[in-house]
A = this chain, B = another copy of it.
Amino acid sequence: MNNIEGLDQNRQTAAPAKEKRVPVVFEGYGRTSGKMRTDFKILWPAYGEEFELATDEGAMHGGDGTAPPPLALFTTALGACVMTQIRAFAKMLKIEVKDVNVHVRMEWELIQKGKEPYETAPVGFTMDVEIDSDAPVEDIRRLMETAKKGCFVEQTLGRTNKVSHRLMLDDQWVEL
């Protein structure tokens, strides 16, 4: 019996590191609160956290300009997610980082036939990253690659995602 236990222990030592998967869920409740303004309550239930965020459009798009447009939040979400993970993983990888600056450029296009409602498509997203650090160049590269893989927003943009919709019609939820 002792021999067999010892053998199992050896096997465990040789086995690859155990993989852990943790769900990360955000929920948002949005309501119209102006001509184009939207107010959102965002919940992060796992931590009991709650946030208030709003968007609006300028007068050119029929709004009152009381808050940034949705694409400003989207642009910030991508850039800030990478910047957060650079700092989070710098600690984990023991790479000293003094400061981070990022320039993000997001390009979409609007395609309209005659007077029909327009359609939209992404064109390209670029990010210039400056990491202020005395660490060797190879460490900075490794940190950046790790931050990209650990950035929820960037990993989402890199996949084809399906957004599932339900629409309330005649008092019933209908899948679209």
Do B103 and A28 touch across chains, with their CB atoms under 8 A apart?
A: yes
The 9 A-B pairs at the shortest CB distance, nearest first, are namely A17-B114, A51-B68, A74-B77, A70-B81, A55-B80, A28-B104, A73-B77, A30-B102, A42-B72
User: How far in angstroms is the closest Cβ of chain B from A133?
Assistant: 10
- Alpha-carbon gap, A71 to B112, bound state (A): 31
Q: Is the CB of B29 within 8 A of A53?
A: no
Residues of B within 8 A of A87 (CB): 32, 35-36, 62
Residues from 93 to 125 in A contacting B, C-beta threshold 8 Å: 93, 99-125
Decide: A80 near B160, CB < 8 A? Known: A19-B111, A101-B30. Answer: no
Q: How far is the CA of A17 from the CA of B111 in the complex (A)?
A: 12
**Chain B: CB-nearest residue to A125:** B163
Contact (Cβ within 8 A) B71 A166: no
Are A88 and B60 neighbours in the complex by a CB distance under 8 Å? no
Question: A78 — nearest CB in chain B belongs to which residue?
Answer: B163
Which residues 137-176 of A sit at the B interface, judged by CB distance below 8 A?
A: 137, 140-141, 144-146, 148-170, 173, 176
A121 proximity list for chain B (CB < 8 A): 155, 159
How many Å lie between the Cα of A69 and that of B38 in the bound state? Answer: 19
| A75, B144: Cβ atoms closer than 8 Å | no
Q: With A47-B58, A150-B118, A166-B126 given, is the CB distance from A53 to B38 under 8 Å?
A: no
* Given known A38-B79, A49-B58, A102-B29, contact A144–B158 (CB-CB < 8 A): no
Asked if A5 lies at the interface with its beta carbon under 8 angstroms from chain B, I say no
Given A84-B36, A105-B25, A120-B151; A164-B20 close (CB under 8 Å): no
